[in-house]
Structure 1
Amino acid sequence: MSDPILELLAAPPSPALSVDENAVHTGGRRRLRRRNLRRAGLGAGAAVAAAAIAFTPLGSGLGGEALPAGPSTSVDAGRRVSAALFDGDWSVEVRPGAPADQPNIMFYKGSGTSRQQLAGSSADATVVSLGTGSGAEGVMLGTAPADATAFLTITRDGTHGGIETDQQPLPGTAYQAVALKFDDPKEVDSYVDTIWTNADDEVRTATGSLLPSVPTNDGDRFFVAQDASTIGVFMADGSGGSTRPLTTGESTTMGYGQKPDDGEWSWSSVTLLPEGARDVRLEWANATRTTDVTVRSLGSAEVAFAEASAPGAGAGPSVTAVSWTDAAGTRHTEAVK
């Protein structure tokens, strides 16, 4: 019998969605603080988070025995594996081998012997499943595949506050514990979807759907999420990622990079082009050095990319226009919007 307390959510479509470029967390036991987030609007066709769950408080019922106090990750004699999140303020427990009609994931407020059970969920180890509800205002708790190494969180347009993230391993299981904490608790409702990658350089949606992707500058991984009307990049060094919405033109160009203190700009540009595009040229502004353009096939499209640098004292490099020859031999030029 299914748990009547749990409800699967299909977030309602929104005419304007946004991608939280900086709400990215990477593998291991790292916790990243993200404030003043940059966002890019998405079209109305953006995917909803079918893997998200909602829960209500259960007190200490539903077999709410507490695990012994211990380190952030603990395993009890019943093979229950628990991980504390946000310094023990919350915890997630996996119950391997749970009967099919009972939850295999449990959510708690607190950790150790003082934790209070909030709810349970049945979650597959191949998806990102996050939930929130009464007793966890402003926080989303859940699980992700154990091999996921980096995440990009998609939220609805109008989300202004920061998002703090934490992830912890659940040893001996196919899961890892994940939590999101919103600076403005009301904005937890803005969560839409999660895009994630792994050590095999696969890029997937929250529901596990594989997205087309190719390696670009310095091994960064570029992807296209057509259902979310967006393109994006996961950094090869695990430092995060960047996204932007698809444009209405034939090409979409995104740029990303950094400028260390007292250093110079280091910038990458990636352009999505129609299938068969060749002889691609990029027009740069504020760039003192640029690399040759490389073009790689994405199956039904082409991806062109290059790098540039500039003195740190001035404006950073940017691509202002892209030109290419299509499969029929016609030359095209588009300004970057």
Structure 2
Amino acid sequence: MSKIANKQVICDVLVEEANRDKDIVVLCSDSRGSASLTNFADAHPDQFIETGIAEQNLVSIAAGLAACGKKAYAASPACFLSTRSFEQCKVDVAYSNTNVKLIGISGGISYGSLGMTHHSAQDIAALSAVPNMRVYLPCDRLQTEALMKELLKDNKPAYIRVGRNAVDDVYEEGNVPFVMDKATHIHEGEDMTIIATGEMVRPALDAAKALEEEGIGCRVLDMYCVKPIDEEAVIEAARETGAILTVEEHSIYGGLGSMVSQIVARNCPKKVINLALPDEPAVAGKSAEVFGYYGLDKAGIVKAARELLGR
């Protein structure tokens, strides 16, 4: 298992780029430690702003700096960034179309033991509904690095959600297939397709390999780009495989599953099942425990795939 969390990779990329680009500014809301931004603050104190526990101010200040030509990266726990400062994300960043990258750390149920107040199970739905806002959930440290390097090249708003802890690598050093805003095919099969995003990609891949041993062929798509979603990849999967299972660390409402279902229904009707968090306050516990409880792990995905295919 990797010992480097995605949020640490974000900091490492920004530290390196800020050596060459003094327009890069990083902001956080009393979260430099939990966001792994201490190294950036130490290396570039003149390009770092600590707003304190004031998420709305965090986003508005970032937007103001971007309006003055800065490249602003605002980091805060996803649960607060996507709710407490939603209006600022919608108006100051997206509507104003400012160059702010919103970094939601400890997304999903990363703060498992702290309960619903600290879960961000609605952020994909909320921020995807905002015009001009892109939404990304990289699956591992290697893809996070590739995504951050691409985002540094543009001046459009984006929301990047990452987890709290290090996760198993999906890709290999020196072999990270990455095309901006395009899903990545990481396993091939014809019986069905599993479309996963964020930290759900690794268990989806593991499940596909286990199903392959049972004679079930599963295509697996890493949909790190939830918005804009890769419609072409979804339609192709619907046409070429028997059914689709989506997997996400998010509410069953309004997230990846809803988007995939709309695309499939509109273009190539096929059965789609959404494996996600149910419409209830999630149980408290460590991430692995919560994933297991709701079937968002290898075993749960295998079980859901079998049921979908009637096996």
TM-score normalised per structure 2: 0.28
TM-score, L = length of structure 1: 0.26
